[in-house]
Amino acid sequence: MKAQFDEPEIPPAPKVETDRLFVAILLDKYIQDGLTSLIKDLRSLDVPVKWLEPGNLHLTLCFLGEVPRSKEQEVMERLQLVRREFNPFGIQLGGLGGFPNLKKPSVLFAPVSEGWEKLRDLAGAISKNLRGFGQKQEDREFNAHVTLGRVKGFKGAKTIQPKLEGKIPALIGKMGVNSFALIKSQLNPEGPVYTILHEFNLAG
C-alpha cells in the first residue's frame, strides 16, 4: 500500500511594485503658450479629437512602460551617463502632423521642424542605455513631435484635414533644450497625472 503525502503549498510570488515611466523634454512657457493657442484654434473647428491638457504637453524621448521600482535607481544612473554626452541645443516647432498621416489620422501632433537631428541622437542614446528596463520600449524610428490630441473613432478622421486649411502655423515657437526628465505617469479616468522623478541637465 502506497503512502500518501500532501502536496506542499507553494507560496504565491511576491507582487513586483512598478511605475509607468518615460523620458521627455519639458517644454518652456513660450512653447507651452504657443501650443495652447494652437489647440484653442483647432478646438474651434469642431473636429472629433480629444485634446491634451496644456499642462500635459511634453516631447517624449523614450517610453519605458512599467519598470520595477527596484530598478529605478539604476535607470537614473544610466541617464546620468547619457546627459554627460550631450551639450545644450535649440529646437523649433512648426506645422501640424498626423499618425499615420493627416488624411485619416489617429493622432495629431506638432512636429519639431529644426533641431530634430540632435533630439534623435539624444533619444537614441537614452533608448540604448535603457534597453531591457521597460516592457513597452519600441524599436520604431524616432519622430520628434509633441502630441496634441487623439482622434475619437475612425469615421470622423477623414473629415479633419479639410478643416485644417489655413490653420497650420509655420512657426509655433523656439526653445533651448538644456535638460531632459524621467517622469512617472499615473493613469486616471480624468487623464494621466505626471510626476517628475528627476531632471538631468545636459553637460556644458
How is domain 18-201 classified at the architecture level of CATH?
Alpha-Beta Complex (3.90)
Q: Across the chain, what does the average pLDDT equal?
A: 89
Could you state, in order of their start, the residue ranges of all structural domains in the chain? Answer: 18-201
The pLDDT of residue 1 is 54
Nearest to 119 by CA among 150, 75, 88: 88
pLDDT in tens, 31-73: 999 999 999 999 999 889 999 988 889 999 999 999 999 999 9
Nearest to 19 by CA among 133, 147, 140, 180: 133
| Alpha-helical regions (H) of 101-188 | 116-129, 160-163
- Taking only Cα atoms into account, the Rg of the chain, rounded to an integer number of angstroms, comes to 21
pLDDT of residue 139 exceeding 70? no
Pairing of strands 49-51, 193-201: unpaired
First-to-last C-alpha distance (Å) of the chain:
80
The pLDDT of residue 11 is 62
Q: Which residues are catalytic?
A: 58, 145
The pLDDT of residue 148 is 95
The pLDDT of residue 4 is 58
> DSSP letters of 73-110?
HHHHHHHHHHHTT---EEEEE-S-EEES-SSS-SEEEE
pLDDT in tens, 66-119: 999 999 999 999 999 999 999 999 999 999 999 999 999 999 999 999 999 999
